[in-house]
């Protein structure tokens, strides 16, 4: 008998849909307070997930869900890096 592997799901901050964790981009606030993109999904800190589509990122920025999740303002460089990372995918 084979075991069925459980697929972890996370909620996108833009569209508020549950998706498999591997399909989403993780942002992390490190213990030092730095916000960055986490390509491995394993960095220590508070994580938030966004779909790799520009409309989800725009909505998360507009409604300020990222700021509320991390409890601090998000620098413009992070948004630019996130948009550039999506275009590379």
pLDDT tens, position by position, 20-76: 999 999 989 999 988 888 888 899 999 999 988 888 888 888 899 988 999 988 878
pLDDT tens, position by position, 25-40: 998 999 998 888 888 8
Sort residue 15 into left (φ over 0), alpha (ψ -120 to 50) or beta: alpha
Distance CA 33, CA 12 (A): 22
Helix or strand (DSSP H, E) at 69: helix 65-70
């Amino acid at each position: 008998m084979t075991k069925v592997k459980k697929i972890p799901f996370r909620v996108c901050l833009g569209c508020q849909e549950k998706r498999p964790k591997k399909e989403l981009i993780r942002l992390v606030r490190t213990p030092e307070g730095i916000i960055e993109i986490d390509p491995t999904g394993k960095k220590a800190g508070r994580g938030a997930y966004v779909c790799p589509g520009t409309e989800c990122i725009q909505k998360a920025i507009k409604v300020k869900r990222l700021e509320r999740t991390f409890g601090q303002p998000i620098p413009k460089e992070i948004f630019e890096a996130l948009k550039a990372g999506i275009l590379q995918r």
